[in-house]
């Protein structure tokens, strides 16, 4: 049976999975928003999910080493939009498509902006969100493509704020699943797909925004300038710092260290023993 993969539907995740469609005997792909990927993993309806990093704390999971959706500095696609200065924000409407972005915002409000707003869940419609709140959190293409200047709004990039506060990169998502669902050979294939996809940012954006040359160019530039896909020591340090701060502000359960599947670049975590039949 192929491994059931739950992949994020946003543009920034497509480089990680573009090459996996060539191996349908090993990987069966489906696409959802990040929060849905996590829900499917928690329910056992997929084997491995590209889940928001904070969702790792919700189960007994292992992480595929070396791979993530990462920014260091501006990310462009995770942002707070407001018509008032952030110091004056009292209410925020939350796009709940990813619990990681919500937790990141709550950390930044408490530790960086110095505000304690009230939060309310909302669909990712900027105009509707700002009709009921002072500011709105958007992620993915709704944040990347928002015409905020025409609405007279500020865009506060949360990736920029995180790196200014901590000096570290931020890991938005990674592949994770229960112990034993992937072999070392699967880890290698997922890493190869990462390497292939990030070299094809123009093709990824062209396919994603088919028929719109303007968005194709913008999407390719976004992938090259804002998104990284390697998770090494500094990225792991960023995850652990995020987990600790999220727990401190009540946005996540108690922090615990990352554990990894067996494979290249397992780094400082505790590796999962190779599954039966794994290729070393």
pLDDT at 279 over 80: no
Residue 185's pLDDT band (cuts 50, 70, 90): very high
CB 232 within 8 A of CB 267: yes
Q: How far is CA 78 from CA 64, 139, 187, 224, 229, in A?
A: 23, 4, 28, 16, 16
Angle between helices 99-108 and 158-166 (to 10 degrees): 50
Residue 196's pLDDT band (cuts 50, 70, 90): very high
- Percent of the chain whose pLDDT exceeds 90: 87
What is the rounded CA–CA span in Å between residue 94 and residue 138?
7
Q: Is pLDDT larger for residue 275 or for residue 70?
A: 70
* Residue where the block lists tokens 């959802």: 32
pLDDT of residue 24: 72
What is the rounded CA–CA span in Å between residue 223 and residue 15?
9
Residue 25's pLDDT band (cuts 50, 70, 90): confident
Question: 29-88, pLDDT tens digit by residue?
Answer: 999 999 999 999 999 999 999 999 999 999 999 999 999 999 999 999 999 999 999 999
Question: 207-240, pLDDT tens digit by residue?
Answer: 999 999 999 999 999 999 999 999 999 999 999 9
What is the rounded CA–CA span in Å between residue 263 and residue 279?
10
Report how far apart the first and last C-alpha atoms of the chain are (Å, whole number): 21
**Do 3-69+171-211+229-272 and 78-166 show the same overall fold?**
yes
How many CA atoms does the CB half-sphere of 8 hold within 13 Å? 26
So where are the chain's domains? 3-69+171-211+229-272, 78-166
In sequence order, the 6+-apart residues with CB closer than 8 A to the CB of 251 are 54, 102, 103, 106, 107
In sequence order, the 6+-apart residues with CB closer than 8 A to the CB of 88 are 134
pLDDT of residue 172: 97
What CATH number was assigned to the domain covering residues 3-69+171-211+229-272? 3.40.190.10
pLDDT of residue 21: 74
CB 138 within 8 A of CB 122: no
Question: Rounded mean pLDDT of 96-107?
Answer: 94
What is the rounded CA–CA span in Å between residue 101 and residue 67?
18
Residue 179's pLDDT band (cuts 50, 70, 90): very high
Question: Rounded mean pLDDT of 99-126?
Answer: 96
Q: In terms of Cα–Cα distance, which of 29, 65, 76 is closest to 49?
A: 29
What CATH number was assigned to the domain covering residues 78-166? 3.40.190.10
DSSP 172-207: EEEEEESTTSS-HHHHHHHHHHHHHHHTTHHHHHHH
* Residue where the block lists tokens 């609405």: 151
pLDDT at 271 over 50: no
Whether the model pTM is above 0.95:
no
Q: In terms of Cα–Cα distance, which of 183, 35, 22, 192 is closest to 98?
A: 35
Sign of the torsion angle spanned by Cα atoms 193, 194, 198, 202: positive
């Amino acid at each position: 049976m192929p491994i059931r993969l739950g992949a994020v539907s946003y543009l920034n995740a497509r480089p990680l999975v573009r090459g996996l469609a060539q191996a349908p005997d090993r990987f069966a792909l489906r696409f959802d928003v990040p929060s849905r990927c996590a829900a499917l993993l928690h329910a056992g309806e997929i084997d491995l999910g590209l889940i928001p990093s904070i969702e790792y704390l919700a189960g007994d999971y292992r992480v595929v080493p070396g791979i993530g959706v990462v920014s260091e500095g501006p990310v462009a696609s995770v942002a707070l939009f407001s018509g008032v200065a952030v110091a004056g924000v009292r209410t925020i409407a939350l796009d709940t498509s990813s619990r990681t972005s919500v937790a990141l915002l709550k950390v930044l409000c408490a530790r960086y902006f110095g505000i304690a707003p009230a939060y309310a869940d909302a669909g990712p419609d900027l105009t509707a969100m700002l009709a009921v709140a002072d500011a709105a959190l958007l992620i993915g293409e709704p944040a990347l493509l928002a015409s905020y200047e025409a609405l007279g709004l500020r865009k506060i990039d949360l990736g920029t704020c995180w790196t200014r506060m901590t000096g570290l990169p931020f890991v938005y998502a990674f592949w994770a699943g229960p112990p034993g669902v992937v072999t070392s050979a699967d880890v290698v294939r997922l890493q190869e797909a990462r390497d292939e996809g990030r070299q094809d940012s123009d093709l990824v954006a062209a396919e994603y925004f088919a028929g719109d040359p303007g968005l194709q160019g913008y999407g390719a530039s976004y992938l090259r300038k804002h998104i990284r896909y390697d998770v090494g020591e500094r990225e792991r340090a960023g995850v652990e710092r995020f987990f600790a701060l999220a727990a401190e502000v009540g946005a996540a359960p108690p922090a615990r260290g990352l554990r990894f599947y067996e494979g290249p670049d397992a780094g400082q975590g505790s590796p999962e023993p190779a599954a039966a039949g794994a290729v070393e």
